[in-house]
Amino acid sequence: MRLAVGMFPAAAITSKRGLAAFLFCQGGMYMVIQLVNTLSFPVAIIAGIVGLVLMVLAANLAVKKMVELAEYLKLSATFMGMTVLSLATSIPEITSHVTASASILSGNLDYKVGSAIVLGSNIGSDVVQQTLIMGVVVLITGSLYFRRYFLWKSMIPMIGSTLLCIVLGMDGTYSRLDGAILFGSFIAYTYYLYVDERKYYGTGDAPTQEQAAQPAINTAGQAWMAALIGLASMVITVLAAQIVLGVTERIVTVTGIGGSLLGVVTLGVASALPEFTTALAGARNNAHGISLGTLVGSNITNPLVAIGLGALISTYAVPRPLIAWDLPWEAVTGAILLVYLLLRKGKIGRKGSIYFIALYVIYILVRVFLFAAD
């Protein structure tokens, strides 16, 4: 299962086949880098757009397979959303970080520019999810309901993860020790969720009738096939992420636009698309635990796993706008969402969705006009 949630380099090398796959992926990344560098600027832009689309499509296929596996393993909707789906839908962020860090270590990606791009993409994706996507999903479906225990068990850690990133990044870097703290926090939190799931399994979040009547996986063979397809999709995601990162670096070099701003505005939105599609599907199937667990869980997974793993590999230079605006705004919007839901007894309707969409608009306007440069 670890291979299916974006930890390919760390887990795959434990076997000869895994090592061969890892070396193939690394060789493919090098070839992609060389290809992008030989393209003219207009052609590189087109390649970047194609890579972005390919990254989203491959990530969505991986998410679909992870959903099917989670249902086969009989996980509750909330637990599935908070763990398996939050990791699966964070594949673009995780692979972008691992890919960028490997490229930084090999000298194929500038340290400051690469750091700015992936950190901006990560934090931008988080803000998009808890404001714009939350609002759009509610606007389309009518309402979402959060149970009180979910608020305390999930949203407090979400806000805490953001505050931890602020504290660790105030010195201008995410060191390997910082990465270990972030990733270790995720392991500890996941263990807590697992213990809680085993303790209260079957007390809520039952699958919908449609899900129960039509399981996608019924045998161990089908489960293995889903895992293989998911793994192949993640390899494609890694290679596509390398194209996008290479092209984005060239845009930063040519235009002078801040790498973190590009990450926030473009890659952040694109990276959040798997969360959007999964959350929307969950809401439409009356599986609110999937929608809420995915959106909130991804905002825990993104900083703790993606930034943590990346910092463990190469360390990062933290751009000033992330500490001065992006991360504080993410913490503030998370706190606003928590207070709003507590006051509204866990329910957010279409009126509330407008407020959160407006928070995203404010975030982007301030970012563009006051924090454009790194």
CATH number at residue 277: 1.20.1420.30
Residue found under tokens 């000033």: 320
Residue 209 counted as domain residue? no
Residue 205 counted as domain residue? no
* pLDDT tens for the chain, residues 1 to 374: 333 333 333 333 334 444 344 344 445 555 666 676 777 888 888 888 888 788 777 767 776 777 777 778 776 666 766 777 777 777 778 888 988 899 899 888 889 988 988 898 889 888 988 898 888 888 888 887 777 777 788 889 999 999 999 999 999 999 999 999 999 999 999 888 888 877 765 544 444 444 444 677 888 888 899 888 877 887 787 677 667 767 876 776 677 666 677 667 766 676 676 677 667 766 666 666 667 777 888 899 999 999 999 999 999 999 999 999 999 999 999 999 899 988 988 888 888 899 999 999 999 999 888 887 76
Residue 334 counted as domain residue? yes
Residue type, 94: I
At residue 345, φ and ψ (nearest 5 deg) are 55, 40
Residue 207 counted as domain residue? no
Tell me what pLDDT residue 78 has.
67
- How many Cα neighbours within 13 Å face the side chain of 353? 17
Total number of domains in the chain: 1
- Joined together, the tokens standing for residue 3 give 């291979």
Residue 296 belongs to domain spanning? 2-200+220-370
Residue 212 counted as domain residue? no
- Give yes or no for a contact between 276 and 136, defined as CB atoms under 8 angstroms apart: yes
Nearest to 271 by CA among 155, 126, 160: 126
H or E stretch at 174: strand 173-174
Task: Quote helix, strand, coil % in the chain, to nearest 5.
Answer: 85, 5, 15
- Give yes or no for a contact between 263 and 117, defined as CB atoms under 8 angstroms apart: yes
- Joined together, the tokens standing for residue 306 give 């993606």
Residue 240 counted as domain residue? yes
Residue 214 counted as domain residue? no
> What's the Cα-to-Cα distance from 134 to each of 144, 346, 353, rounded to whole Å?
9, 14, 7
Task: Decide: residue 70, CB within 10 A, 0-12 exposed, 13-18 middle, 19+ buried.
Answer: buried
Q: What is the pTM of this model?
A: 0.73
Report d(CA 136, CA 348) in Å as an integer. Answer: 12
Tell me what pLDDT residue 354 has.
93
Residue 215 counted as domain residue? no
Tell me what pLDDT residue 312 has.
96
Residues in the chain: 374
Report d(CA 84, CA 74) in Å as an integer. Answer: 12
